[in-house]
């Protein structure tokens, strides 16, 4: 080999080493024993876990449930099916419970400051438990691209922070954390700690770098996802400024006279510019709970004083909120979809599912498989997760319009259509043929 080639090779090797050292140093600076994947959970407004050690049985049951669910999801995605609402709720609920178990160890690890590489017995055990959890997440959730991306977007209803899987992976393979544990290994050796330590995946500088830069890297996806969100946000908020006033008081009085708790209310607002951009006939939907259930949803004791008439759950561009019927009724045409024969358990489930959506942002990506932000139809989709709602595959994602809700209800014996209101006139028991003339046929709808 010529001197020039050797020099070029050495320069390239030195450059690569410098880049690797820089990236690894960034990795180390971003992760530490106490600055792990649960840092930032308090932003979700959750209460710390009670001071009870998570049982091994509980953790094993949760992981088995997660593995079974992930198997079902993988099979469905191979068939081109969307994530059903029940699966989304179960996925976020299970993972949220696992993270809540981790918070016990996070709290134990952060009680006192770590001095150098010296760990207390409690800190050493807590660090190993967190690494063990991160290892489980790496073997399960990280492998499924859709699941990984969905959970990394976060879900405030189940106290899942944004980017938690990405951070847990960085924590798992971090070199400085492993070296600290190795230095304390003999001091706190026990069969349990030895077992936990041996179950951790191998790591070194190359593995840590590869994991951070290449493995399960969703940077391009996040860039495109956020770009679409930003563009849709600007357009949606701009056209939402243009609308004509409606007789909300009259609409609210008519609706109040016919509504029952758990009714799904579709609304058309032809004098709103946004109505022209939403596919289909109806443009908005909300869930009527009534004052007592709305107060229960918020955990309030006094219905009149605390809610001041707010009993309609809806999703506006400002996010998920509980509105008054008068605020909601900003349209001219309404269709009531009423679920029948709801058991007490289903009513409880609907209420709990709805509670988890409060405070979420509006989903300007219109993606029903991402529960971190939702639209008005996604609120119904997640709240009534026992229904096999039909969806559409549009622009590389599964979507759901208000008309699609009506189309599913038309074919499901669980629902009835007690009232149709247009310009102040109430029609009892509108004919299904008439409703279908408004919302069209199933077309591209699919529940597979």
Is the domain of 45 the same as that of 149?
yes
Is residue 447 one of the residues assigned to a domain?
no
Is the domain of 64 the same as that of 196?
yes
Task: Pick the more confident residue, 48 or 371.
Answer: 371
Tell me the pLDDT band of 5, cut-offs 50, 70 and 90: very low
* Per-residue model confidence (pLDDT) at position 253: 93
Number of domains in the chain: 2
Checking if the pLDDT of 78 tops 70, the result is: yes
Is residue 16 one of the residues assigned to a domain?
no
Asked if residue 388 lies in contact with residue 348, where contact means CB atoms within 8 angstroms, the answer is no
Is residue 249 one of the residues assigned to a domain?
yes
Is residue 87 one of the residues assigned to a domain?
yes
Is the domain of 198 the same as that of 263?
no
What three-state secondary structure class fits 323?
A: strand
Is the domain of 275 the same as that of 132?
no
Residue ending a domain, choose from 217, 249, 276? 217
Is the domain of 49 the same as that of 190?
yes
Across the range 290-313, mean pLDDT stands at: 76
Is the domain of 165 the same as that of 50?
yes
C-alpha 151: how far from its chain's center?
7
In this structure, of 70-74, 363-367, 392-396, the range with the lowest mean pLDDT score is 392-396
Checking if the pLDDT of 71 tops 80, the result is: yes
Checking if the pLDDT of 315 tops 50, the result is: yes
Is the domain of 188 the same as that of 251?
no
Nearest to 372 by CA among 232, 229, 219: 229
* DSSP symbol at 80: T
Is residue 228 one of the residues assigned to a domain?
no
Which residue range is the domain that position 420 belongs to?
A: 239-439
What three-state secondary structure class fits 243?
A: strand
Is the domain of 196 the same as that of 335?
no
Query: Whole-number mean pLDDT of the chain?
Result: 85
Checking if the pLDDT of 41 tops 60, the result is: no
Tell me the pLDDT band of 13, cut-offs 50, 70 and 90: low
Is the domain of 194 the same as that of 276?
no
* DSSP symbol at 179: H
Q: How far apart are the first and last CA of the chain?
A: 61
* Whole-prediction pTM: 0.86
pLDDT tens digits, 217-273: 787 777 888 787 787 777 666 665 555 678 889 999 999 999 999 999 999 987 765
What three-state secondary structure class fits 331?
A: coil
Is the domain of 262 the same as that of 319?
yes
Is residue 19 one of the residues assigned to a domain?
no
* Per-residue model confidence (pLDDT) at position 440: 87
* Per-residue model confidence (pLDDT) at position 1: 44
* Per-residue model confidence (pLDDT) at position 340: 95
Is residue 444 one of the residues assigned to a domain?
no
Is residue 360 one of the residues assigned to a domain?
yes
Across the range 48-74, mean pLDDT stands at: 89
- List all residues 6 or more positions away from 6 whose beta carbon is below 8 Å from its beta carbon: none
Is the domain of 272 the same as that of 213?
no
Is the domain of 205 the same as that of 279?
no
Report the percentage of the chain scoring pLDDT > 90: 58
pLDDT tens digits, 99-116: 999 999 998 888 888 877
Checking if the pLDDT of 401 tops 80, the result is: yes
Give the integer Cα–Cα distance in Å for 157 and 203: 34
CA distances (Å), origin 416, targets 16, 346, 392, 439: 66, 17, 23, 16
> Where does residue 166 rank: exposed (0-12), middle (13-18), buried (19+ CB within 10 A)?
buried
Q: What is the CATH number of the domain that holds 426?
A: 3.90.1720
């Amino acid at each position: 080999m010529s001197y020039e080639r050797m020099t070029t090779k050495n320069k390239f090797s030195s450059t690569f080493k410098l880049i690797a050292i820089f990236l690894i140093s960034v990795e180390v600076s971003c992760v530490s024993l106490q600055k792990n994947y649960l840092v930032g959970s308090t932003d979700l407004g959750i209460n710390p876990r009670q001071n009870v050690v998570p049982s091994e049985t509980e953790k094993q049951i949760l992981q088995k449930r997660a593995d079974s669910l992930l198997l079902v999801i993988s099979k469905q995605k191979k068939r081109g099916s969307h994530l059903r609402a029940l699966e989304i709720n179960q996925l976020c609920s299970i993972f949220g419970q696992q993270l809540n178990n981790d918070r016990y160890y996070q709290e134990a690890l952060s009680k006192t400051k770590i001095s150098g590489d010296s760990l207390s017995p409690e800190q050493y055990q807590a660090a190993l438990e967190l690494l063990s959890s991160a290892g489980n997440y790496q073997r399960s959730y990280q492998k499924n691209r859709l699941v990984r991306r969905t959970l990394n977007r976060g879900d405030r209803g189940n106290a899942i922070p944004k980017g938690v899987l990405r951070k847990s992976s960085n924590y798992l393979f971090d070199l400085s954390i492993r070296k600290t544990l190795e230095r304390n290994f003999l001091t706190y050796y026990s069969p349990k700690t030895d077992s936990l330590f041996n179950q951790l995946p191998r790591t070194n500088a190359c593995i840590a770098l590869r994991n951070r830069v290449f493995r399960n890297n969703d940077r391009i996806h996040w860039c495109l996802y956020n770009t679409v969100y930003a563009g849709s946000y600007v357009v949606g908020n701009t056209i939402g400024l243009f609308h004509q006033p409606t007789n909300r008081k009259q609409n609210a009085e008519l609706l109040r006279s016919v509504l029952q708790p758990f009714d799904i209310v579709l609304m058309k607002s032809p004098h709103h510019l946004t109505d022209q951009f939403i596919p289909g006939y109806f443009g908005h939907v909300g869930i009527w709970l009534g004052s007592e259930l709305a107060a229960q949803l918020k955990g309030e004791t006094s219905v009149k004083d605390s809610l001041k008439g707010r009993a309609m759950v809806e999703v506006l561009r400002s996010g998920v909120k509980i509105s008054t019927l008068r605020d909601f009724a900003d349209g001219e045409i309404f269709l009531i979809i009423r679920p029948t024969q709801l058991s007490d358990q289903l009513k409880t489930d609907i209420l709990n599912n709805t509670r988890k959506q409060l405070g979420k942002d509006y989903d300007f990506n219109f993606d029903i498989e991402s529960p971190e932000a939702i639209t008005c139809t996604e609120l119904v989709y997640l709240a009534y997760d026992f229904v096999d709602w039909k969806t559409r595959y549009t622009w590389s994602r599964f979507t759901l319009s208000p008309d699609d809700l009506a189309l599913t209800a038309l074919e499901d014996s669980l629902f009835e259509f007690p009232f149709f209101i247009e310009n102040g006139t109430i029609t009892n028991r509108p004919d299904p043929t008439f409703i279908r003339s408004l919302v069209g046929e199933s077309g591209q709808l699919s529940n597979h």
